[in-house]
Structure 1
């Protein structure tokens, strides 16, 4: 049974160009997102990073870019090393004058182990709300 995608939206007080740079320039990403060894906004580019679980364990995230529409949309697969499941994250940008509506859509969460609290939809919801509502917001609005 496929669950509905997780969608998180915020209107940020920054132009599309500034948010796009924050999403695609690795030196900027390191300031608000995850510490990626390298990142290139091009379809097929693969990257990985470690994230921390609720009990301090490290999860290796394996990602591959699937969509790049400059200043509009960035999507990539999102899976975990040594765990079943495959999902996709999309960042979409909608200009609203000098502000931007940012929408994060995460699909495929139901493919992850449902008996693991770090893979629960509520965990992803909390994470994306923090990333969009605090981390990215504070970075682009400073």
Structure 2
């Protein structure tokens, strides 16, 4: 298995390759037949299998997307059986290629999308999906680490734990976590209710920060308090595989980059050990 992450034309591109000890025609059927896709693909698929054909995705246990208005439809952009299938899923583009090898074939995925912070989740999820594909075809995939362990590995590989420093000096972290937002908030708050006008619980404060009283709070999604000549804002929402955390500090935020990084990574580590 190989994975790489790049940026092209302002979009994120994930490339993955997997060698399979199965003939290309068998893998092609698993890639294009909805009955076969049901054994390994992350959604149920309805497809008009032709160039410009419509494709639709549904989740058997209900909605499974953190986008406020998700688009679970697409269109086939390239179709060359049994070698190439490319289609859209909302704004995402998935390109699947099957290449014969001496002992089977190589299956390649190129996924193009906008939400770079989800890349560790997507990579980990596809690894587990391709394990399921190999098993469904009669293969003997090596057991993988738990999803959360894979996720944190790729966060580090892709550098998704690093913040952005905006032109005005604002420090901004966007971090996908593997625990649900209610649990993440509870850990940050130490199980206490957060009240406007009180000092924020210690879990929301990095080392070296002198917080003022909570200015805004909406549990479990938003907390704002003053710090120095700026403010700290925490937001949590449902993300891809767990809570999506966005933390910003205006003012002298860049001075506290290391402290915020350590706090967030400690929080992420707790999510791994508890899931």
When the two structures are superposed, what TM-score results if normalisation uses the length of structure 2? 0.41
CA shift for structure 1 position 105: 0.4
**2:39 aligned residue:** 31
In 2, the alpha carbon distance for the partners of 1:106 and 1:128 equals 11
1:42–1:8 Cα change, 3 Å:
same
Uncovered stretches (5+) of structure 1, i.e. residues with no partner: 80-85
Query: 2:79 — aligned with what?
Result: 68
Counting only pairs closer than 5 Å after superposition, residues 76-91 of structure 1 correspond to structure 2 as 76-79=87-90, 86-91=91-96
Q: How far is the alpha carbon of 1:101 from its aligned partner?
A: 0.6
**If the length of structure 1 is used for normalisation, what is the TM-score?**
0.75
CA contact (8 A) 1:42 1:65 kept: yes
Tell me the distance in 2 between the aligned counterparts of 1:11 and 1:95: 10
Q: Deviations over 1:107-141 (max 9, x none)?
A: 1x22x4x6xx6xx1222212222222x12111123
Whether the aligned pair in 2 keeps the contact of 1:13 and 1:141 (CA below 8 Å) is no
| Structure 1 contact 48–60 (Cα < 8 Å) conserved | no
Cα root mean square deviation, aligned: 2.4
Higher normalized contact order (CA 8 Å, seq sep 6+, divided by chain length): 1
Map residues 15-54 of structure 1 onto 2, 5 A cutoff.
15-33=23-41, 34-36=43-45, 38-51=46-59, 52-53=64-65
Q: 2:104 aligns with which of 76, 90, 99?
A: 99
Partner of 2:74, secondary structure, is: strand
Which structure has the greater CA radius of gyration?
2
Q: Where do 4+ consecutive residues of structure 1 move more than 3 Å?
A: none
List runs of 5+ in structure 2 lacking aligned partners: 1-8, 140-275
